[in-house]
Structure 1
Amino acid sequence: MRIVITGASGQLGSELNELLANETEKECYFLDRKQLPLDQMLLIQDILAMYQPDLIIHAGAYTAVDKAEEEPALADLVNHLACEEIAQYCHLHGTKLIAISTDYVFDGGSAVPLTEDAPTAPINVYGRTKLAGENAIQKWCSEAIIIRTSWVYSSYGKNFVKTMCRLMAERDEVNVINDQIGSPTYAKDLARAILKIVDAANWEAGIYHYSNEGEISWYDFAVAIRDFHSFDCQVKPIPMSAYPTPAQRPKYSLLDKSKIKAVYDVVVPEWKESLSKMLAEEIKKY
């Protein structure tokens, strides 16, 4: 099987690269923004045609949530129109597609875990462009699989966990939001779930949700990071209203994972277990 993975230098792309490093039955091509510029619509299908993939794992995206408010056109190019080009290529060439989306397609008004058919109503540019990408994929490539995820972190790239480790090592006190609820996703776990789908005998198109198990706030997440490393740093809970950002965030975006568990028998680790594994791996590296 020949696979093209976009977003090669991102958190998920890096974890997929690590997991597929010794793969002999899959011919994998990892494309970063230089090799596949997702803001260049006229190039995307021609570049994909050079590789003639059987499957595309589309992990590339514009993910700077606050900056997207200043660059809505660029965010739309990367998160929406590039998805359309990729989906059109897949439709024309019979290529399978797994695309990554986000919990930010929801408005945060729910009080129960969000299923795949819950109403979408994004409240920021990033969420609107990602939802437009989802719609374009479903329009052009009805056989695609879309996986929504949330609060992604990894030992690769920039993310909340690594930022907290740095700040807690430097400061006596950090303020962290305690009224935004969801669940983090260890990118390695998500990568494993994707590969389980790739290797499955069945291919069930549609939208799926994936994050680690549990329901927490960013404050709870930060406390667990502090406790793992025994940082001498006070973590102070603050409301979202005390930390205004250019882009609004959904207050509640916990994803229901029942569908991906049932269809693909995916085992979803608990968030604290995965955090411990990532932090232990980080320690080994340095």
Structure 2
Amino acid sequence: MTAPKRAALVTGGGRGLGRVMALALLRDGHDVIIAATDADALAATVAEAAGLAGRARAIVADLSLGGEAERLADAALAAFGRVDILINNAGLSLNAVSTDYLVDPYRFWRSDRTVIERFFAVNAVAPMLLANRLVPAMVERGWGRIVANTTSLDSMLRFPLYGGSKAALEAETAVMANQLAGTGVTANVLIPGGGTGSRMTDQVGIPRDQLFPDTIMAAPAVFLSSAASDGFSGRRLLASRWDAMLSPSEAAQRASDPIAWTGFGSPGVHPASARQASAESAR
């Protein structure tokens, strides 16, 4: 039986990890809307997709701008009539404010309101707005996927702006997974799991032979976007741990941990009324 064709929106898909994931989904037969700020990079990615099993559409979008996430969601829906898979990959790295932070750490107090708000707009607010716009129809159809590219825990704790905004995205994706339980829509985090060769690592001077190849994101992205991942939700999957010798389901289990640091640290102590409200919201 042929797997159904789905429509996916991949943000930050013109280059790097987003491009790898978008092309992997296209090879797997999905239609893919690829969004990015760079029109030339988008055109090159769409050209590379020619002849693949799925159809590619490009949308130029700057998610740091107010109203742009909503416009992108509506344009993506118009492209193929639906969006079944949302891959929140677009993000600002610390390179946006410093390219020598590995030798001269960027201090949080150097950031002003404009810089802080731009990082959170792209890395946390826009992904939430896209999900808000696209998820209700997924729930109505009984199937959908949200995949967020956050970052490793050590990066969250070391790098200002980037770490906090990506931590916010991970926490919100965990909330989505909890509230979507039983709907057929899953929410997971997919990260490389270590330094990965890209334009950003080139800018800070790290040789690519010391890093994971960006292609490690392909197989996990295909799994998370497939029916094989039904019921797999609330996990953070590390692509560097993916074992291609295993079945995709087993590889995903072995390469993943609970989302958002579940199981680390003591839970808060809440009054009975709050516990009851939490239990009801999870139903």
Shared fold per TM-score greater than 0.5? yes
Give the Å deviation of 1:43. Answer: 2.6
* 1:182-207 deviation per Cα after TM superposition (whole angstroms, max 9, x unaligned): x9542211122211222342331113
Amino acid at match of 1:191: A
Amino acid at match of 1:83: P
Amino acid at match of 2:215: K
1:139-178 alignment runs, 5 A limit: 139-140=175-176, 142=179, 143-154=186-197, 157-160=199-202, 163-165=205-207
Amino acid at match of 1:86: L
Match of 1:26 in 2: 30
1:122-271 alignment runs, 5 A limit: 124-140=160-176, 142=179, 143-154=186-197, 157-160=199-202, 163-165=205-207, 184-203=211-230, 204-212=232-240, 264-266=249-251
Evaluate the alpha carbon distance shift between residue 206 and residue 11 of structure 1 in structure 2; reply closer, same or farther with a 3 A threshold. Answer: same
Amino acid at match of 2:24: L
Write the distance in 2 (CA, Å) between the matches of 1:20 and 1:87.
Answer: 19
1:61 matched to 2:91? The reply is: yes
Write the distance in 1 (CA, Å) between the matches of 2:154 and 2:33.
Answer: 32
Write the distance in 2 (CA, Å) between the matches of 1:164 and 1:63.
Answer: 15
Evaluate the alpha carbon distance shift between residue 43 and residue 161 of structure 1 in structure 2; reply closer, same or farther with a 3 A threshold. Answer: closer
Match of 2:145 in 1: 96
TM-score by length of 1: 0.56
Aligned length, in residue pairs: 194
SS of corresponding position for 2:150: strand
Structure 1 unpaired stretches of 5+? 108-119, 169-182, 214-256, 270-286
Amino acid at match of 1:63: S
Write the distance in 1 (CA, Å) between the matches of 2:33 and 2:167.
Answer: 26
Structure 2 unpaired stretches of 5+? 1-5, 39-59, 78-82, 99-107, 139-143, 180-185, 256-283
Match of 2:45 in 1: none
Query: Does the 8 Å CA contact 2:145/2:224 hold for their aligned counterparts?
Result: no
1:44 matched to 2:69? The reply is: yes
Match of 1:240 in 2: none
1:82 matched to 2:126? The reply is: yes
TM-score by length of 2: 0.57
Query: Does the 8 Å CA contact 1:90/1:97 hold for their aligned counterparts?
Result: no
Query: Does the 8 Å CA contact 2:217/2:239 hold for their aligned counterparts?
Result: yes
SS of corresponding position for 1:195: helix
SS of corresponding position for 1:49: helix
Write the distance in 2 (CA, Å) between the matches of 1:11 and 1:189.
Answer: 11
Evaluate the alpha carbon distance shift between residue 157 and residue 17 of structure 1 in structure 2; reply closer, same or farther with a 3 A threshold. Answer: farther
Match of 1:281 in 2: none
* 1:119-138 deviation per Cα after TM superposition (whole angstroms, max 9, x unaligned): x8566221111111122333
Evaluate the alpha carbon distance shift between residue 205 and residue 90 of structure 1 in structure 2; reply closer, same or farther with a 3 A threshold. Answer: farther
* 1:235-281 deviation per Cα after TM superposition (whole angstroms, max 9, x unaligned): xxxxxxxxxxxxxxxxxxxxxx79xx898222899xxxxxxxxxxxx
Query: Highest relative contact order (Cα 8 Å, sep 6+), 1 or 2?
Result: 1
Write the distance in 1 (CA, Å) between the matches of 2:129 and 2:95.
Answer: 22
Write the distance in 2 (CA, Å) between the matches of 1:21 and 1:84.
Answer: 24
Point out the structure with the larger helix share.
2
SS of corresponding position for 1:265: helix
Report percent identity of matched pairs: 13
Evaluate the alpha carbon distance shift between residue 61 and residue 91 of structure 1 in structure 2; reply closer, same or farther with a 3 A threshold. Answer: same
Give the Å deviation of 1:11. Answer: 0.9
Write the distance in 2 (CA, Å) between the matches of 1:22 and 1:191.
Answer: 10
